[in-house]
Homo-oligomer: A and B are copies of this chain.
């Protein structure tokens, strides 16, 4: 069966994934009107991943950081959005196989990002809670709240503590931000909501395998982030590698056992290359090796951009950082190159422009590395807020996030503490 898309004269660009890379490419290409564009995604929305942790922490609604694809791409001629899972590429036949059927392409762009890396440990995958999508963040929120409700009616004090404690695995930006937000929830929100519980005894533990937090950032940022977290009551353990977790007991590589119900897994990501690509194209972290034109090794009409791509540049021998910025820059560049291809003009090589990195730890606390400056604390926090607010898609979402932030800041509250699940009574 073929996916239901009209055949036209224009060349067809099939884009897989509507993350930062895929959406930026679709928007840019649609403006030229020179191609027929088919965009595949599993969801009907684009998600702003940097703020996922605030959804999990009941500070933001999913809708504030998710944006309907059809709205983002309204009034784009010759653009077809299809909600489907892409299963396989067939480069010889120039088509992809999806859950809706097959779909031919002239140009194929793989922008399907990265997935949570469980390092092949099925037990960890089964019991730990990842946080790579709005759906997962919402699940985590529901879990935290449901566990507290269970703790209230639990009479065994040991089990009660296990329901309240939270372990965060991974000291990257996500882990640091979640741990900080949990520490604030513990301090400002939980005592008011659960006067029956000894919320002061809740332990928030951050486990990091290496010897510093935010290893992608500067040493001073790492040091400051640690200092901030410790001040907020987060216990940080370095050199801690999780080897087992069965839903109740977590075991570290040094034999330590921890009793805890909830483990948030933010230990890293890995590519998830589609079936059908030659094995030699899959390199470090399961990313796809591309040249400076984003062409997947060995192909001139298959491209990879964003987290799924591994492009070597002089300064980036390990590939570009897996950040929104790199994805967006590559997408925009590829749009220009596709247009050049159409006009028969020579392609331009991509160069990454490093705009820096940042992470927030809590109220008034963030760390910012710019290419020329590094700073931490209140100013960094304002910069973090401003930059993230500015990047959110859609005026309404921006206004809502801003209003939410002001409200939560002033009231010391995370007001969305609702366990809501869509209810389906159908067979």
**Quick one: which of A381-404 are within 8 Å of B by CB?**
394, 396, 399-400, 403
Q: Do A422 and B139 contact each other (CB < 8 Å), given the known contacts A74-B193, A407-B396, A417-B70?
A: yes
A155 is an interface residue with CB less than 8 A from chain B: yes
**Interface residues, chain A, with chain B CB atoms under 8 Å away:** 3-4, 43-45, 61-63, 66, 68, 70-71, 74-75, 80-84, 100-101, 125-127, 130, 133-136, 138-139, 141-142, 145-146, 149, 152-155, 192-194, 196, 247, 394, 396, 399-400, 403, 407, 413, 415-427
Q: Do A418 and B82 contact each other (CB < 8 Å), given the known contacts A192-B74, A425-B125?
A: no
| A423 in contact with B135 (CB, 8 Å) | yes
Contact among B43, B80, B426 with A196 in the assembled complex (CB-CB below 8 Å): B80
A154 — nearest CB in chain B belongs to which residue? B4
Residues of B within 8 A of A396 (CB): 407, 415
One complex includes copies of this chain to the number of 2
Q: Do A417 and B61 contact each other (CB < 8 Å), given the known contacts A130-B425, A149-B44, A153-B4?
A: no
A60 — nearest CB in chain B belongs to which residue? B63
A135 — nearest CB in chain B belongs to which residue? B423
CA distance A141 to B45 in the complex (A): 14
Contact among B75, B125, B400, B417 with A192 in the assembled complex (CB-CB below 8 Å): B75
Q: Do A71 and B403 contact each other (CB < 8 Å), given the known contacts A142-B422, A155-B4?
A: no
Residues of B within 8 A of A134 (CB): 420
| B422 in contact with A71 (CB, 8 Å) | no
Q: Do A44 and B418 contact each other (CB < 8 Å), given the known contacts A403-B403, A426-B127?
A: yes
CA distance A138 to B135 in the complex (A): 14
A46 — nearest CB in chain B belongs to which residue? B418
| B44 in contact with A423 (CB, 8 Å) | no
CA distance A116 to B152 in the complex (A): 31
Residues of B within 8 A of A152 (CB): 4, 81-82
A116 — nearest CB in chain B belongs to which residue? B425
CA distance A135 to B154 in the complex (A): 26
| A83 in contact with B193 (CB, 8 Å) | no
CA distance A138 to B152 in the complex (A): 28
| A149 in contact with B83 (CB, 8 Å) | yes
Residues of B within 8 A of A3 (CB): 153
CA distance A133 to B75 in the complex (A): 35
Contact among B138, B247, B415, B427 with A71 in the assembled complex (CB-CB below 8 Å): B415
Residues of B within 8 A of A63 (CB): 61, 415-416, 418, 420
A408 — nearest CB in chain B belongs to which residue? B396
Cβ of A229 to closest chain B Cβ, rounded Å: 27
| A417 in contact with B193 (CB, 8 Å) | no
| B138 in contact with A420 (CB, 8 Å) | yes
| B43 in contact with A419 (CB, 8 Å) | yes
Contact among B70, B100, B133 with A423 in the assembled complex (CB-CB below 8 Å): B133
Residues of B within 8 A of A419 (CB): 43-45
- Which A-B residue pairs are the 10 nearest by beta carbons? A135-B423, A139-B422, A70-B193, A138-B422, A68-B417, A83-B149, A45-B418, A4-B153, A63-B416, A61-B61
